[in-house]
Chain A
Amino acid sequence: MRTLYEWLAIAAVVLATTAGDVLVSRAMKQIGDLGDLRRRSGILTVIATVLRHPGFLMGVAAMAVAFYSLLFGLSWGDVSLIVPAATSLTFVTNAVAAKIFLHERVDQRRWLAAALVGAGVVLLAL
């Protein structure tokens, strides 16, 4: 039962993190380079623009779900399983989601990078 809970928490963290990352990434691309925006209109405008963007707020909500799923998971299981498992899987799901939803050109270099980092995180957990 404990193992099932652990993997349910991992699945929840992976799904919610991916949704949050994609939503926030899309929102930030719509807003544009924050450095440029700050130089043009000041830091307060940057903060107001970001905090008023609906996509950003939805992304933050998804990340809050991921955060509390992670806290649940950490209270049930080992940090050395849950954090690396959730993070390494997120590298792969994010690459797939970025290709589908954000239309990023995920070339061989990036697949390889995501796979290497994912595998490396698994090794850290062993």
Chain B
Amino acid sequence: MTFRKYLVLAGVSVFAAAGDSMLAQGMKQVGSIAPHQLSQIILTVLNPSIAVGILLLLCFFACYTNALSWADLTYVMPATSVSYILLTLIARFFLHETVSVTRWMGVLLISGGVGFVTQGPALTHPGAAKPDELPLAEGVPR
């Protein structure tokens, strides 16, 4: 794991948290949409919050595909769940929401999961590694 790779994982977390909160805000402005109003749900992209949310999620997706090009899916997913911790911290310290004890416990569990998985190897299956690295790919941190 290099500094660049940690930076990519951080990008996944930050853009996911920011994008999701913009989407949620936008959908609250748009209001309830019935299942048969398909055209209306497609037009939701015109809402500014949703548009910004989609842009942020595109950045998320660029970082995410980059991470998946050198790490397992079962590594990237828990490692980037830092985004939930970020969301809780944003809610508590910037939006001044009350964060309950249960939610802080949730944050602790997620931190535990992130800590666990990032201590292990990022790539475990030899299928797609560069040919010259095949013998190393199994169980060796990169």
- Interface residues of A, Cβ cutoff 8 Å to B: 5, 21-22, 24-26, 28-37, 50, 56, 68, 70-72, 74-76, 79, 83, 90-91, 94-95, 98-99, 102-107, 109-110, 112-117, 119-126
Contacts and interface: CB of A to CB of B under 8 A. Distances in A.
Q: Is the interface of A mostly helix, strand, loop or mixed?
A: helix
21 contacts: A22-B73, A26-B128, A33-B69, A35-B5, A35-B66, A68-B41, A79-B24, A90-B77, A91-B81, A105-B125, A105-B138, A109-B116, A110-B117, A113-B114, A116-B78, A116-B112, A117-B109, A120-B108, A122-B106, A124-B107, A126-B103
A124 B128 contact: no
A122 to B, nearest CB: 7
B113 A114 contact: yes
B13 interface: no
Dominant SS among interface residues on chain B: helix
Contacts of A76: 32
Interface residues of B, number: 54
* Most chain B CB neighbours (cut-off 10 Å) among A33, A74, A117, A121: A117
Interface string B5-42: 10000000000000010011001101111010000010
Contacts of A25: 68, 72-73
Interface of B: 4-5, 20, 23-24, 27-28, 30-33, 35, 41, 44, 64-66, 68-70, 72-75, 77-78, 81, 84, 88, 100, 102-103, 105-114, 116-117, 119-120, 124-125, 127-130, 138-139
